[in-house]
Amino acid sequence: MFRLKQSFTIMFSDCDPAKIMFYPRYFQWFDRASQQIFNEVGLPWNETWAQYDMGGFPLVDASASFKAPARMDETVQMETWIDEWRGRTFVVKHVVSRDGEILVEGQEIRVWAVHDASRPAGIRAAEIPEEIKAKFEV
């Protein structure tokens, strides 16, 4: 299973007044990493969405468990992977650590959504193609 590994330095703009990483920033990182992991396996979203007539990857659930704080000027590592394929949805896991200590564990559940003009929102959930899943089996 392919895992995306990234490092980040906590900047002042990421922090609350106590210079501790402000929790919504983690969700921004998770969102960006969900796109980046597809890019890294050769599935850039713009191209993938066009090829599969997609309406995107709507987020239907996001959660995080905060174990320890990260502070301004610290460097942290984040590991992201697709943990489970569920037919029409998939689970993305994120772990943020510092020097081996887990700081945050996050999860997103996203839908494989294709265009459907007959639906009020213009999209519907569809089965995730096997060739997409195979790209992550490295």
Instruction: Kindly give the pairing relationship between strand 59-66 and strand 75-86.
Output: unpaired
In angstroms, the CA 68 to CA 115 distance is 41
In angstroms, the CA 20 to CA 69 distance is 6
Residue 31 appears among annotated catalytic residues? no
The catalytic residue among 16, 53, 61, 73 is 16
Q: What is residue 14's DSSP assignment?
A: G
User: Strands across the sheet with 113-115, in order?
Assistant: 54-56, 113-115, 123-125
Active site residues: 16
